[in-house]
Amino acid sequence: MSQDLTTFVYLVASVCFIMALRGLSHPKTSLQGNRFGMVGMTLAVLATLATPGVETYFGIIVAIAIGGAAGAFIARTIDMTALPQLVAAFHSLVGLAAVLVAGSAFYAPEAYGIGTPGDIKTASLIEMAIGAGIGAVTFTGSILAFGKLQGLITGKPVVFAGQHLFNAVLGVAIVLLVVLFAASQPVWVFWAIVLISLALGVLLIIPIGGADMPVIVSMLNSYSGWAAAGVGFTLGNNLLIVTGALVGSSGAILSYIMCKGMNRSFFNVILGGFGGEAGAGSADTGDKSVNSGSAEDASFILANAGSVIIVPGYGLAVGQAQQAVREMADMLKGMGVNVRYAIHPVAGRMPGHMNVLLAEANVPYDEVLEMEEINRDFQQTDVAFVIGANDITNPAAEDDPQSPIYGMPVLKVDEAKTVLFIKRSLSPGYAGIDNPLFYRDNTMMLFGDAKQMTEGIVKALEDQ
């Protein structure tokens, strides 16, 4: 394939990726967006395989077969609750690839047309140093995020005195080493950049508290995009540069939007600062009591309500209760009840987590509303039906200046006339803090698995 034709196909693939991002911005067009992404990736792979620089296909075919088989197996077997940690794990692979490609280009520059060992172009040295640095930060940061989301390590912030200053010193050291590397290209400097960046990736993520992990997943997505763009510069591949920039910028924009939604500083996220200023609150419930009820109690309240807002959280994902919730909502609508869904921007463990689950259950899109669209309506709502959504409904975010999540916008479910809250126990949410909503007079706790409890409510509604 000629260079001009390759460039044209790359351009078409880039347009497909842009259309994919546009489609994925809304549940109604997400399937179409996925199709655009698949077409763009197919065109990109085929055009790359047809370039004159490819000398043998055996190794490429073996790699595609192994990677494709692993991807297909993971896609078919992964639980919906494990998607956030899966995304974090995939980000780590992008970061590792960036480091390996940079190392390969440094040791065999002739293969990339960027010079000879000891005499590499200055621009290429800067590109591979920055690509390796961002890739190393992404690699260890994503592994740590995976460990936190998987529960392998504590989800609470890990902080120490002078942490931010130490991170800043490491950042300055990396910049100075990049300058030294571009000036004289010693081997030890390249690996020093990689090692310090690996350490920085860990240090940026460990102070992040559990409630803020969705933002970090989004930010790591951005880092992986910029790492891919760095690889594109090293390989001289325009499509990889464009694709990496699209992923990097879209991830950064999404992180910025989420930071605004959580009343967080965007720059503190980049520097790994937020979540560590305050420790996790106490989960001590003292002698406080709660009102607990059964599925039959809940069905009576719901059947006599005029309006219900369903608030899905991580408990919905754990219990895989989306189909049962849809069935319950359909029955209530058949009784004349106005049923809607409220989505917090960080509900679950990653952006869009709840939207995916509700779409899987074919919940009508016009019934699913974002926080800013529905938060005012809780005051006029008869029942707020909360399913394991702990931190994003915690009124301490507005009432308690000492709370670690103070200032984070939450769904104001406590303003509804009655709150039905499905939860297995009174244990704190992922942020590790108690929720005073449990103990309020207008709250009825429905202890149990989300799916079993909702199915019990459906059965009770049928018996009425």
pLDDT in tens, the chain (464 residues): 787 888 899 999 999 999 998 888 777 788 888 999 999 999 999 988 888 778 788 888 998 899 889 888 888 887 766 777 888 888 888 889 889 988 998 998 888 888 888 888 888 899 889 889 988 999 998 898 888 888 788 767 777 888 888 888 999 999 999 999 999 889 999 999 999 999 999 998 888 766 667 777 788 888 888 888 887 887 788 888 888 888 888 888 888 877 776 666 776 666 655 444 444 444 455 567 889 999 999 999 999 999 999 999 888 888 888 999 999 999 999 999 999 999 988 787 677 778 888 888 888 888 999 888 999 999 999 999 999 888 889 998 888 888 877 878 899 999 999 999 999 888 776 666 788 999 999 999 999 999 999 999 999 999 87
Q: Which of 391, 414, 434, 449 is catalytic?
A: 391
Cα-based distances in Å from 342 to 149, 311, 337, 378, 457: 24, 5, 16, 10, 20
Contact (CB, 8 A) for 268 and 212 = no
Is 77 exposed, middle or buried, given 0-12, 13-18 or 19+ CB atoms closer than 10 A? exposed
- Global pTM value: 0.73
Buried residues in 279-309 as b, exposed as e (16+ CB within 10 A): ebbeeebeeeeeeebbbebbbbbbbebebbb
The torsion region of residue 93 among left (phi > 0), alpha (psi -120 to 50) and beta comes to alpha
Q: Is-catalytic flag, 391?
A: yes
**Residues in Cβ contact with 449 at an 8 Å cutoff, skipping those fewer than 6 apart:** 319, 321, 424
Note whether 163 and 102 are within 8 A (CB): no
**CB contact set of 51 (below 8 Å; sequence gap of 6+):** 1, 6
Cα–Cα dist 340/337, whole Å? 10
Instruction: Write a three-state SS string for 280-347.
Output: CCCCCCCCCCCCECCHHHHHHHHHCCCEEEEEECHHHHHHCCHHHHHHHHHHHHHCCCEEEEEECCCC
How many C-beta atoms surround the C-beta of residue 409 within 10 A? 18
Q: Which of 434, 215, 247, 222 is nearest to 345 (CA)?
A: 215
Q: What is the DSSP letter of 390?
A: -
